[in-house]
Structure 1
């Protein structure tokens, strides 16, 4: 190659390749470069999507995000180590299944027993696999629904939240049922909350295949019969899974929050 023609000599190319550790005998083909470029673009889109949906989460209290990984699950915090270990294993196995198949999962039991932690661990695991996740405290959501009639910005935010809830890959409905009152005084949830939740539940079901279109994880202190007292049966049937493998019962476990 002639440098006078604006091109580099082979000797120059060889020297630069050697300095930068480039193996010219194993350069990528044009097709492989295109495939890798497309893959990188898809990964960038997935990362952006994950951030967008995470930002739409409705966190409890001071709207401070919560995080938890399976590696942080400590079975020795519970008196029944075997049960705690079994619940952690069951949640992990569900996370693996949810990589390829959308599932509904319910975690029920007393407060402070680790339901939210394992739900977050599943979402964290799937986020690493490229799935978007969104956390919604149903008590906070109910509060926003009540505020929308006085605050226009809240109404606009609710529109965005509902859309995100219908489209996100993994939706956590945390403390589901709290919005229906205390166990001693359970009553039907307000109609506008019921309507919103019903629209979300419908959007997350593939009615042609009769399977979840996207994964939903419920954590609750209530029984299914109590949830049916608060919500329409059709809504509960769309959210609560029937297979026992997708039901995690945190029974006879102690509150480990320490507060």
Structure 2
């Protein structure tokens, strides 16, 4: 059926072309070209018509190229991010409540860092540290959204909760890359080769839940450390949020991994203390 339709369409075009008649006028743009005319239609220049078709094809090619590029970059944040709390996805700088001097200072520094990340040539990591509920993840995601929306060059931004990442990877043990999105191989490629600016959220939770001791956290498994090192070693623009101190991170992870996490963080450390109230705290 489809081939028959194409034949009829092409046959009709041939019939229309047979009706073309040359008129005694030339094109003002192409003086050597006489105009042609279909019955009941205004005369036109074949060369101008070809140029118009070529321009239209170029516009369509640019449109679909830009659309494909957008899907591979700016749409990554919404499509591929992994949250442990779906409500966090609504976070922006506009919704952050900076209560107190420390929170306001950290808010201002986060906005400044977002401005630095707008330049794709700038390479450094950022570290958010402090107790839960202070707004670390909120500000980290706000940086991503700012870069995602305002970067002069399409930028693939991604927010990944580390504990959820490993839960999904482990759930796919035994599956192939084609059968399951969250295989170790698929996720490592996504987070290194296809992501320009990455948030690794709540680093340490994937190991500290094993033994709840803030002062002596459990060491992350060899498997977790290997995967994390494969990710951060292939990157130079990563934002890390963690509830742990530098000493605790050094206890939990291999020195080579910690060293990669700390790449370029001087001047890009946002620390929350008890001076900032836990906004998730409940009094009873």
Match of 1:112 in 2: 133
Deviation at 1:40, TM superposition (A): 4.6
Q: Distance in 2 between matches of 1:4 and 1:39?
A: 31
- Aligned residue runs from structure 1 range 1-259, under 5 A: 5-6=37-38, 8=42, 40=63, 43-50=66-73, 51-52=75-76, 54-60=78-84, 66-75=89-98, 78=99, 80=100, 82-100=101-119, 101-128=122-149, 129=151, 130-149=154-173, 157-167=183-193, 168-181=195-208, 182=212, 183-204=214-235, 212=236, 215-251=237-273, 252-258=275-281
Structure 2's unaligned 5+ residue stretches are 1-22, 26-34, 45-53
Q: Distance in 2 between matches of 1:243 and 1:60?
A: 25
**Further displaced range: 48-57 or 167-176:** 48-57
How many residues end up aligned between the 2 structures? Answer: 225
- Shift of the 229–148 alpha-carbon distance from structure 1 to 2, 3 Å rule, reads farther
Q: Distance in 1 between matches of 2:181 and 2:79?
A: 17
TM-score for both structures, normalised by structure 2: 0.68
Deviation at 1:124, TM superposition (A): 0.3
Deviation at 1:249, TM superposition (A): 0.7
Structure 1's unaligned 5+ residue stretches are 11-29, 205-211
Could you list the per-position Cα deviations for residues 97-129 of structure 1 after superposition, in whole angstroms to 9, with x for gaps in the alignment?
111113210000110100000000000011112
RMSD across aligned positions (CA): 3.1
Could you list the per-position Cα deviations for residues 215-234 of structure 1 after superposition, in whole angstroms to 9, with x for gaps in the alignment?
21001100122111111111
Contact 2:123 2:264 in 1 (8 A): no
TM-score for both structures, normalised by structure 1: 0.74
SS at match of 2:90: coil
